[in-house]
Amino acid sequence: MKSVSERPAQAEPNRRAAIKKWVSRHLTGITLVLTIVTVLLLGGGIIWDDKLSTDCQCLIWPKFDQLSSAIYETTQVFLLNMAPRAGANYAITLGRLCAVVLFGLLSYQIIQKYFGEWLDYLKLRILSRRGGHHIVCGLGRVGWPIVKQLREAGERVVVIERSPFNEQIDDAKRLGAIVLHGDATEEERLHAAMLPKARALYVVTGSDEENIETVVDAQTILEKDGNKDAEFKCYIHLLNPALGDVLSDTLKEPGRAGHPFDIQTFNVARNSTRQIIVEELSRVRPRKPDEVALYVLIGAGPMVRVIASHLAELAHFENDKRSRLLIVTEKPKKAADALLSRHGQFSPRRVVKSWADIRFDPDADHWGSKKLRPEPNYQVDAPEGIEFACQAVFTPAPHAMNDREFLHALDRLTTEPGVRPAIIFCTEADQDNYGQAEQLNTNLRLHCGVKDKDKDKDKDKDKDKDKDKDKDKDDLPIFVWLPRQEPLKRLLNKRKKNIRPFGSCHDELILEKLLDPVEDRIAEEIMVDHYKRANPAKSEQEARDAWKLQKEGERYSNRMAAIHFQVKLACCDLELVPKEKGSNDFSPILAKIGTLARMEHNRWIAERLMANWSYGPRSDSPPRRTQLCTWDILKGNNDLKEELNKDFDQIQTILKHLDDLGYRVRKIDPTRPRCQDDA
């Protein structure tokens, strides 16, 4: 399927949609103004006409007679029941015309109110003859941006929304989308949306169970009534990515004939986290061997686990160290249980009740250190085996962000020598994230001794370290997860402070990225190259067919490598952009390829540890590999020379295919905000 940008421009449909949207939004005002104008024209015209008429016989109350006559005849005009007047003046003529228009407007509004759904169904029947429309199941914070972008691109859209009280329904209708009320998990609703004639299905109801049920029902319908020669795309939003494999296996069960049913899963929260690591945290990364990253996560719920696990897997930079994570949450023990029960090698278990007792061990920052260890079930006896991905501490959240003890503990941890900190607010409520971030930012400056830089200019060199410490604190980046509230995001963007929003659905759900994500295209090239090296006799097409047959879990590693390639670019002060003109200059990358290969090895170790792999002789059950060791040990082991070369080969493979994929690298502009709108 072509992406939206590849289709021919449809200026006329967009113009018609814009006009329709404006009229629909101002219809009530137009009706009110037209009513007033019609009454004034008719009333004034009739009074004027009667004043000039010699037929007015009322001698006692002539003015009252004229007024009552005007009101009565005006009402008759509204009912289109006024007899023609001989020699009617211009006011009456214009009033009659306005009355006809007004009658039409009121009739349209009545029909829309009481027969709107039936008319939508009729339009849908007409639309189905043309086919090629898009069906969006769910009109929430994920579904609405998809509908908006599809309509702005001139696509025909049908929405299935359960709640008739959804505020976005009117907005979707104004844009020209057809909205059907009902449950997307019911096959009748999918039939009503003319699924067999559709081009694509977007399942974004907010519930993984409902989304999977909808997709399974959709395949059943397409197997019976769909055109098997037509390409059909299905995009499903899953909060739990592991369910992607469950869905894939369900659709491949025996007895299913198999419609060409291309399914692509996505998750907005995970995309947001990957974006902030690539575009923002890479800017404040530790660059030197004596530096280390410290990420303070403040929040509760699934988003904390998502960000923590992605930081463990992707936050790997030139410093060749593990990252430090301070997870500040309401129930730290419960949060530790939830994360470590799923990822036992995420970190040694450390739950600290008192903020004054929080400490990070500098020795444990190094990959080869075993000073801190995970739970016994995840420990390995071999001294060279790496056991955990990051150094994390779980601690209680303060009741308010002006708690002095918490502020001083945070100040102490973020200003330690060599620490490169960042604070991330990720509660479920946008207002809480925004308010707490503002409060923390203000109180760190009020209560933690930030000095006036101008007063320090004449101080002796012995106090330079204190000045640098204060500068770091002034520049302490605070990131705020705002998935829903666009006004709050725009407010932060305008203020240009160190508080930076991320995760807006309007930013994350860009159709171009959803329909054809660059990480998937790069991941495919990585897998194809590896497959051909392992199977020299296999053809290019066989390698690409193997990619299509892979499960989501099997694609995950290559996809994460593709995402981390953008982190590697950032370490070279480069970024990935769509190719326009000119050729790629890879010399900055090739000059640092040894460092980048080491970063890739560390990323791969963390990813495998998070998947519960461990060090040891090669085994698939349980999964073990001798490559789960430090880079220096890998370099010194001749038996692992081939494994060492894989990290170099992967980078070379991506560079080789960038031109064909339509991308180029360019120098990063340090003054341009990246998680924010360019505007």
| pLDDT per position as a tens digit, 296-327 | 999 988 899 999 999 999 999 999 999 999 99
Going by pLDDT thresholds of 50, 70 and 90, the confidence category of residue 47 is low
The one-character DSSP state at 253 is S
Can you tell me the distance from the alpha carbon of 583 to that of 129, in angstroms, rounded to the nearest whole number?
Answer: 46
Evaluate if residue 414 carries a pLDDT over 80. Answer: yes
Evaluate if residue 522 carries a pLDDT over 90. Answer: yes
Task: Name the token pair of 300.
Answer: 């509760």
The one-character DSSP state at 351 is B
pLDDT for res 243:
80
* 262 contacts 218 by C-beta, under 8 angstroms: no
> If you average pLDDT over residues 579-604, what whole number do you get?
91
pLDDT for res 424:
96
pLDDT in tens, 418-450: 999 999 999 888 888 888 999 998 898 887 754
Going by pLDDT thresholds of 50, 70 and 90, the confidence category of residue 112 is low
Evaluate if residue 369 carries a pLDDT over 50. Answer: yes
Order of strands, edge to edge, in the sheet holding 178-181?
178-181, 157-161, 134-137, 200-203, 232-237, 261-266
pTM of the predicted protein model: 0.78
- Residue identified by tokens 């009552």 is 68
Of residues 133 and 117, more confidence is placed in 133
Task: Name the token pair of 610.
Answer: 């998070």
The one-character DSSP state at 281 is I
Can you tell me the distance from the alpha carbon of 276 to that of 481, in angstroms, rounded to the nearest whole number?
Answer: 10
> If you average pLDDT over residues 287-295, what whole number do you get?
96
Cα-flanking dihedrals φ and ψ of residue 102, to 5°? -65, -40
pLDDT, averaged across the chain? 81
pLDDT for res 366:
96
Can you tell me the distance from the alpha carbon of 455 to that of 409, in angstroms, rounded to the nearest whole number?
Answer: 26
Can you tell me the distance from the alpha carbon of 645 to that of 643, in angstroms, rounded to the nearest whole number?
Answer: 5
The one-character DSSP state at 280 is I
Residue 622: asked if its preceding bond is cis (omega within 30°), the reply is yes
Can you tell me the distance from the alpha carbon of 539 to that of 545, in angstroms, rounded to the nearest whole number?
Answer: 10
pLDDT for res 507:
62
Closest CA to 120 of 184, 225, 193: 193
Evaluate if residue 455 carries a pLDDT over 50. Answer: no
Of residues 646 and 256, more confidence is placed in 646
Can you tell me the distance from the alpha carbon of 157 to that of 573, in angstroms, rounded to the nearest whole number?
Answer: 41
Going by pLDDT thresholds of 50, 70 and 90, the confidence category of residue 523 is very high
Within 358-463, residue ranges assigned H as helices are 404-414, 430-447
Going by pLDDT thresholds of 50, 70 and 90, the confidence category of residue 26 is low
* 393 contacts 352 by C-beta, under 8 angstroms: yes
Of residues 170 and 46, more confidence is placed in 170
> If you average pLDDT over residues 178-182, what whole number do you get?
89
Can you tell me the distance from the alpha carbon of 15 to that of 454, in angstroms, rounded to the nearest whole number?
Answer: 56
Neighbours of 190 (CB within 10 A): 25
Order of strands, edge to edge, in the sheet holding 419-425?
391-396, 324-329, 292-298, 419-425, 478-481, 499-502
- Residue identified by tokens 């607010």 is 425
> If you average pLDDT over residues 601-609, what whole number do you get?
97
pLDDT for res 69:
56
First to last CA, the chain: 31
Can you tell me the distance from the alpha carbon of 577 to that of 587, in angstroms, rounded to the nearest whole number?
Answer: 17
Can you tell me the distance from the alpha carbon of 316 to that of 603, in angstroms, rounded to the nearest whole number?
Answer: 6
> If you average pLDDT over residues 367-378, what whole number do you get?
94
Of residues 273 and 673, more confidence is placed in 273
Question: In terms of C-beta density within 10 A (0-12 exposed, 13-18 middle, 19 or more buried), how is residue 602 classed?
Answer: buried
* 654 contacts 604 by C-beta, under 8 angstroms: no
Evaluate if residue 674 carries a pLDDT over 80. Answer: no
Can you tell me the distance from the alpha carbon of 280 to that of 293, in angstroms, rounded to the nearest whole number?
Answer: 13
Going by pLDDT thresholds of 50, 70 and 90, the confidence category of residue 21 is low
Amino acid at 31: T
Query: Among 122-131, 184-193, 445-454, 513-522, where is mean pLDDT lowest?
Result: 445-454
Can you tell me the distance from the alpha carbon of 107 to that of 105, in angstroms, rounded to the nearest whole number?
Answer: 5
Complete domains list, the chain, with CATH: 11-110 (no CATH), 131-266 (3.40.50.720), 290-452+464-508 (3.40.50), 518-667 (1.10.490)
Question: In terms of C-beta density within 10 A (0-12 exposed, 13-18 middle, 19 or more buried), how is residue 357 classed?
Answer: exposed
pLDDT for res 225:
80
Evaluate if residue 462 carries a pLDDT over 50. Answer: no
The one-character DSSP state at 452 is P
Residue 483: asked if its preceding bond is cis (omega within 30°), the reply is no
Task: Name the token pair of 485.
Answer: 């509230």
Evaluate if residue 549 carries a pLDDT over 50. Answer: yes
Task: Name the token pair of 628.
Answer: 């789960």
Evaluate if residue 153 carries a pLDDT over 50. Answer: yes
Grouping H, G, I as helix, E, B as strand and the rest as coil, residue 607 is helix
- Residue identified by tokens 């760190």 is 444
> If you average pLDDT over residues 571-578, what whole number do you get?
92
% of the chain surpassing 70 pLDDT = 73
> If you average pLDDT over residues 463-489, what whole number do you get?
65
pLDDT for res 559:
92
Going by pLDDT thresholds of 50, 70 and 90, the confidence category of residue 135 is very high
Order of strands, edge to edge, in the sheet holding 614-615?
614-615, 623-625, 619-620
Closest CA to 336 of 271, 425, 396, 412: 396
pLDDT in tens, 230-240: 778 899 998 87
Of residues 8 and 75, more confidence is placed in 75
pLDDT in tens, 538-548: 898 999 988 88
The one-character DSSP state at 83 is P
Can you tell me the distance from the alpha carbon of 177 to that of 358, in angstroms, rounded to the nearest whole number?
Answer: 54
Evaluate if residue 205 carries a pLDDT over 60. Answer: yes
pLDDT for res 503:
83
Going by pLDDT thresholds of 50, 70 and 90, the confidence category of residue 58 is very low
